[in-house]
Structure 1
């Protein structure tokens, strides 16, 4: 059997309608009919029962369909794998993330990515807040999802993946811990625990502001290199610290109360990759991930 005969037969076996089959294959209806008749003459028996009202598979037609389908699907997968590999989508993609909530999204996207692009793999790596652009610049990751803003000339800012409300982490004994919500103005009366390291000043000032919207100074407290260290400082009474509210379920611990902000902008998480590193593999993952998020 030739390929066009197999495709015509299997499509008609699925549609059981000559017009719909011809539309799916992009062929004239008469061409489909001729192909099926030629195939039936070669096999020597009818494969379809035709009346003015319906088309149905014969017993031998059903047998042929069941025998052909697995092989045909395997051929389709092989062609798809070769095509995607040729486009540069096959292979390993290393994806960075800055928090457990984003890791969950990436893991779900990775599973769908592997299914859609056979021969591909996705490896994930946590990116520390103290060095948010180090792994992407060194090539340890090809693309990452991180907190905005990102304004770096050597990095391309991709689409937004998700946005989440902010909360303030405060020691249990702090006066703000008894509040139903807090305001950005409340930060003027508290010591702010912040992240230090290779952090862009504009990023630091966005997430750990130096003044309130009304212009009041926000006192600076101790600094931390890593997230667990920051949690320890807050729990020990070293100060307060803003965070993405939805990660409380990952980091809830004794000594810290999470109080929602009622006037702070959301934390936005988006893609970024090297300006010189936009590959077909990166683009394919970037396009797929927001549908999962």
Structure 2
């Protein structure tokens, strides 16, 4: 017994006429008649009673019909599931993201992706850019939202999805908070809250300070940007963070633009052998605003 036979059986049960069933199945009547007879012989049970003007189901035929329909429906679901998977429309994606993606990038990508691919489950994990890169190479993640540049970029496919600028996060009671812009050398004597040792943003900040002619006085370190903002709120010092973090800055924290902008980028990264499921996520991540610039503006 195969799905073709079940389809013939259910169609004949619907029409109760070999000629009409054959038309619906887009075949001639004789092969249909032979197929039904072979099905009955295989089962050892008559499914139809032949009459002059058509057929009618036997008691066994009526009993078998719901199961036959269910089998065809289940086969359809199997076929649909395989097709969705092939097209990257079902499954699970493990996504690593840096903390600074919380304010703009994740709210832009996740709702759009879920709207287009409702049968895909997203598993999100906050990490550093370095950790995301390592997890991608180890096969522990499928895709990452990372700060650029990354270590070993040649091993991954990376696309820029956001361009941002550093801003100074200060308490609203600090004199800098009343300025429209701040020159980086003005911060030389200030206690600086800095990203952890394994961080792209840490490298960017230290290089910017070096170009400005000073070595920062590091008061405290933290792994993620939201934590730095909380430390600023606590009065422990200043921090250089992405300007796009302004919408989620805690109460009492102000982000002031730098007089000489320091640009930073965020990208979406995946392995070069990633399949259509990851490809769909990357496409959504890139689509809305390809490398859109973000800045605080002026007060």
Task: Tell me if TM exceeds 0.5.
Answer: yes
Could you say if the C-alpha distance between residues 209 and 107 of structure 1 is closer, same or farther in structure 2, counting changes exceeding 3 Å?
same
CA shift for structure 1 position 171: 2.6
The 10-residue stretch of structure 1 (129-138 or 188-197) with the greater mean CA deviation from structure 2:
129-138
Displacement after TM superposition at 1:78 (Å): 9.2
Residues 1:271 and 2:261 aligned together: no
> Which residue pairs with 1:62 in the alignment?
none
Q: How far is the alpha carbon of 1:257 from its aligned partner?
A: 2.2
Distance 2:209 2:218 in 1: 10
- RMSD across aligned C-alpha pairs, in angstroms? 3.3
Helix, strand or coil at the partner of 1:247 = helix
Alignment partner of 2:204 out of 206, 209, 212 = 206
Map of 1:258 onto structure 2:
255
Moved over 4 A (4+): 77-82, 128-132
TM-score, length of structure 1 as denominator length: 0.60
Deviations 1:56-89 (A, max 9, x none): xxxxxxxxxxxxxxxxxxxxx9977644523566
Q: Structure 2 matches for 1:112-191, cutoff 5 A?
A: 112-114=115-117, 119-128=119-128, 131-152=131-152, 155-191=155-191
CA contact (8 A) 1:194 1:208 kept: no
Residue matched to 1:239: 237
Q: Distance in 2 between the 1:132 and 1:234 partners?
A: 26
Task: Give me the whole-angstrom Cα distance separating, in 2, the residues matched to 1:81 and 1:284.
Answer: 17
Determine if contact 1:157/1:272 at 8 Å carries over to the other structure.
yes
1:281 matched to 2:277: yes
Matched, 1:108 2:111: yes
Q: Which runs of 5+ in 1 are unaligned?
A: 1-76
Task: Provide structure 2 residue ranges, at least 5 long, that are not aligned to the other structure.
Answer: 1-76, 290-299
- Residues 227/206 of structure 1: CA separation in 2 closer, same or farther (3 Å cut): closer
Paired positions, count: 213
Greater Rg by CA = 2
1:218-265 Cα offsets, whole Å, 9 max, x none, are: 3322112344442233223322111122222112322x2221223223
Aligned mates of 1:157, 1:264 — CA distance in 2:
28
Measured in 2, the distance between the counterparts of 1:185 and 1:78 equals 64
